[in-house]
Structure 1
Amino acid sequence: MTDRYAADDLIAYAEALFTAAGLDADKAAIVAPLMVEADLMGHTTHGLQLVPPYLGALADGSMAGSGRPEALADRGPVVSWDGRRLSGVWLTATAVELAVERARQYGTCTVSIRRAHHIACLAAFLERATRHGMMVQIASSDPSVASVAPFGGTRAVYTPDPIAVGIPTSGDPILVDISASITTNGLTGRLHKEGRRLDHEWVIDAAGNPSTDPAVLFTDPPGTILPVGGIDHGHKGYGLALTVEALTQALAGHGRADPPEGWGAGVFVQVWDPAAFSGVDAFARQTDWLAEACRSNPPRPGVGKVRLPGDGALARKRAALENGVELYPGIVDGLQGWADRLGVAAPTAL
């Protein structure tokens, strides 16, 4: 049986690791819960698995452990920051917090961030806005990395380009977390390391042939991940990717047209306060109807019931908080090496 851990113990563990590695204590206190949040929700490639490379980035200086973002512009409802290679997780959480505060005043607020470090799991940030009754959108790209080819092409130009949306209802929020690619770098990297294949032909080799083998991404020259829609309808993911690239890089004024700076992110955060539009009650009346119409929809054969985005993640989170967090194999061992190096005691399994 796989060990389970109390979520609070994992948060304290991650926070201690980050602090010992040189991340400001106030930043570590924000970053650690968000890393564990991803594992609670089942996004196991973007939670604690990322802590070792983040610690490595702090050690080699590619992630700054101290400081504040540089304000490039501030017009009230529109804010632009240079992240100065600070923790992308901390920067994004801080941006959502600011956008929620400003949206109460202006009805909406947009924060654009350039030169952030990696931001981990987008879904983990959404409830930081929806719990205040606000709708939020977050998008991210990494201008130093390319693993997805444009539709019809064979050479990578952009990243999976994730985008997430949190929509409040009278009950659980709708939590959308998708990407412009049909799969992610995290999953293909994990399966390649484990010698496993993808469920479907989600990648192409360097010659453009569809494949289920993630190893084609690690050849010379490499293959690429396919956009959402795959070989047949990949123009849909291609269009979404171009949109995300513009939101996260063009608005920020830093991207693929600039020299690469290493693993990082351009980030776009936007928050809307329904009170400034039709009103909170009118907003909830529409989202509640939509949520119920989807959940009560007759399922097709082989499907138990229709779910909304976020239903599974929130169910997994509640179960993990009650019964303990079961980490993906290898995560505990990956953290232990850093714990020994930094003199941090690992948590005891339940």
Structure 2
Amino acid sequence: MQSPSPRFGADSLRDFARNLLAAAGMPDDKADAVAGILVQGDLMGHTTHGLQLLAPYLRDIDAGSMRVDGGPQVVADAPAALTWDGRRLPGPWLVLQAMEAAAERARTMGTCTVVIRRSHHIASLASYHLRATEQGLLLLLACSDPNASSVAPFGGLDPVFTPNPLSAGIPAPGLPIVTDISTSTTTNGLTNRLQQEGGKLPAPWLIDGEGRPSDDPGVLFREPKGTILPLGGLDSGHKGYGLSLLVEALTGGLAGHGRADPKEGWGATVLLQVMDPQRFAGSEAFLRQTGELVRQCHASRPARAGRPVRLPGEQGFALAETQRREGVALHPGIVDALRPWAEKLRVEIPGALA
């Protein structure tokens, strides 16, 4: 029987991550932003996109493929549209900076879109939305990584895309509605973890190099290499394929930098759009509509007894609240992966809660 995952105080994990990043040379404001976003991912249960990313982030800082000094370069600046070259700076810090800029302009113009090329990886998209919805703002966020490919177009065997997530934070009375959807059946983070652990996926979300469906993540690592299926799988993967193309256009297309350019290393091309409902029909009218949507969804008779309909984000917010009280359950192996960095950078690892 597998032992339970160790639990740690959320604040102590945030301090630990911040101290490691700072010791690696990242300025305090950037280290604080990255640490906060990573721990938020673990709080909400996105364990492949939380502190599991910290060791590879530190590796890239050490190798010089994540830059830590300075800010983004402005490529284009129109009243409601900004284009930044992220200069391979930390992704979470860049996204938070872009959110601030977009929110300020959206309050005047109703909306503002920021696209960022040459960002480093941006972690879990769901980790950002609460910061916008708490201000009554609607946030759309999408990203791709033109430096990698693991998802084939529908009907093909050769990969073109990354999982290309598309997410939204929608203000509503009470909890916001937060979606974070990969346009593929699963993510690189999960398949990499399962491959290392010898595990299997819940369903045949992959195809091997001969086009046969598989639940074995090993097919992604053996020759001829398989690929992750688009969202919808073998039956309706044309839908995920279409969404993947949309994300590529919104990120690489608008940013003018993507799969047509030389690879630079693990990173992201990002689209971020903030909308202020007050500048449209008004915030009160917006919340009236989203509130009714929430009511009707909750009122829908459950297909399975004892499992009422939830809104996207509810489970993650409930888990985050529990883990703030009882400690964050880190996936086994995360602390072990960070231990060599803690020793190298002379940062104390927080103790697990009793």
TM-score class, shorter: over 0.9
Classify the secondary structure of the residue corresponding to 1:234. helix
Please name the residue that 1:248 is paired with.
251
Q: What does residue range 204-223 of structure 1 map to in structure 2 within 5 Å?
A: 204-223=207-226
Tell me the secondary structure at the aligned position of residue 72 of structure 1. strand
Q: Which residue does 1:197 correspond to in 2?
A: 200
Quote the Cα distance in structure 1 between the aligned partners of 2:53 and 2:304: 38
What per-residue deviation string (whole Å, max 9, x for no partner) do you get for residues 107-136 of structure 1?
100000000000010000111110100100
Measure the CA separation in 2 of the matches of 1:251 and 1:303: 45
By how many angstroms is 1:3 displaced? 2.4
Structure 2 Cα separation of the partners of residues 216 and 292 of structure 1: 43
- The list of structure 1 runs, each at least 4 consecutive aligned residues, that deviate by more than 4 angstroms after superposition, is none
Q: Deviations over 1:82-125 (max 9, x none)?
A: 00010111111111121111111111000000000000100001
Q: Which residue of 2 aligns with 1:132?
A: 135
Q: How does 1:160-199 map to 2 (within 5 A)?
A: 160-199=163-202
Distance 1:301 1:170, change over 3 A: closer
Matched, 1:71 2:74: yes
Q: Which residue of 2 is the match for residue 82 of structure 1?
A: 85
- How far off is 1:2 after superposition? 3.3
Does structure 1 residue 104 correspond to structure 2 residue 107? yes
Structure-2 separation of matches of 1:42 and 1:220 = 33
Q: Which amino acid aligns with 2:206?
A: V
Equivalent residue number for residue 228 of structure 2: 225
**8 Å Cα contact 1:97/1:128 also seen in 2:** no
- Could you tell me which of 341, 344, 354 is aligned with 1:341? 344
Which of residues 315, 327, 337 is equivalent to 2:330? 327
Match of 2:152 in 1: 149
CA-CA distance at 1:295 after TM superposition: 1.4
2:36 is aligned to: 33
Q: CA RMSD in A?
A: 0.9
Q: How many residues align?
A: 350
Deviation at 1:303, TM superposition (A): 5.7
1:308 paired residue number: 311
Indicate if the aligned counterparts of 1:148 and 1:225 stay in contact, CA closer than 8 A: yes
Q: Which moved more, 1:234-243 or 1:321-330?
A: 321-330
What TM-score do the two structures reach when normalised by structure 1? 0.99
Equivalence for 1:7: 10
Residue in structure 2 matching 1:61, options 61, 64, 75: 64
SS of 2:255's partner is: coil
Decide which of 289, 294, 300 is 1:291's aligned counterpart. 294
**Residues 238 and 118 of structure 1: is their aligned pair in 2 closer, same or farther, counting only changes over 3 Å?**
same
The whole-number CA distance in structure 2 between the counterparts of 1:73 and 1:257 is: 20
| Residue aligned with 1:251, SS | helix
Q: Is the 8 A contact 1:97 1:129 kept in 2?
A: no
Unaligned 5+ segments in structure 2 are none
Point out where structure 1 has 5 or more consecutive residues left out of the alignment. Answer: none
Equivalents in 2 of 1:230, 1:302: separation in Å? 28
Give 1:338 shift. 0.6
Deviations 1:220-240 (A, max 9, x none): 231000001100100000000
Partner of 2:21: 18
What is the Cα deviation at residue 279 of structure 1? 0.2
Distance of aligned partners of 1:55 and 1:114 in 2 relative to their CA distance in 1, 3 Å threshold: same
Native 8 Å contact 2:210 2:224 kept in 1: no
Take 2:232 and 2:34, find their aligned partners in 1: how far apart are those partners?
A: 33
SS at match of 1:267: strand
**What is the match of residue 120 of structure 1?**
123
With structure 2 as the length reference, what TM-score do the two structures score? 0.98
| 3-state SS, counterpart of residue 349 of structure 2 | coil
Percent same amino acid among aligned pairs? 55
Cα distance in 1 for residues equivalent to 2:92 and 2:37: 8
> 1:140–1:244: 8 Å Cα contact kept in structure 2?
yes
